[in-house]
Amino acid sequence: MTIMYNPLHPGEIVKDALFTDTDLTVSGAAKLLRVDRTTLSRLLNGRSGISADMAYKLSMLLGVSEEMWMNLQRDYDLWLAHKRNRTLKIKPLSKLHIKYQAISV
């Protein structure tokens, strides 16, 4: 998998989808999505991610698949994980070790 360099937080994409060329407010969008205003605000400001429930609600409101929203969040989370762990050194398990564990269980 190719890791994108510094991708947008999914909330930025949601913000663009909800508010570009519309007169919606955060409160208005939250009502349409049936979520608390602070829940939506946290997403839009990059302080929380897109949950499965939010992905479903966004797909219903915006006509874009819930998988697309979940994939955006997954890709962003993986980018963060790579960024946080770029110096982490973990040796892969050897085939012998894996075979031994399978027998001993």
Torsion region of 91: left, alpha or beta (phi above 0 gives left; psi -120 to 50 gives alpha):
beta
For position 5, what pLDDT does the model report?
79
Nearest to 58, CA basis, from 45, 39, 82: 39
* Domain spans in the chain, listed from the N-terminal domain onward: 10-104
**Secondary element (H or E) of residue 81:** helix 66-84
Q: Are 98 and 104 in contact (CB under 8 A)?
A: no
pLDDT confidence of residue 90: 87
pLDDT, tens digit only, all 105 positions of the chain: 565 578 999 999 999 999 999 999 999 999 999 999 999 999 999 999 999 999 999 999 999 999 999 999 999 999 999 999 989 988 888 876 766 676 766
How many residues are present in the chain? Answer: 105
What is the CATH class of 10-104?
mainly alpha
Tell me, what's the pLDDT at 55?
98
pLDDT given for residue 79 in this prediction = 95
Task: Let me know the angle formed at the C-alpha of 94 by 81 and 84, rounded to the nearest 5 degrees.
Answer: 10
In this prediction, residue 4 carries a pLDDT of 59
How high is the pLDDT of residue 104? Answer: 67
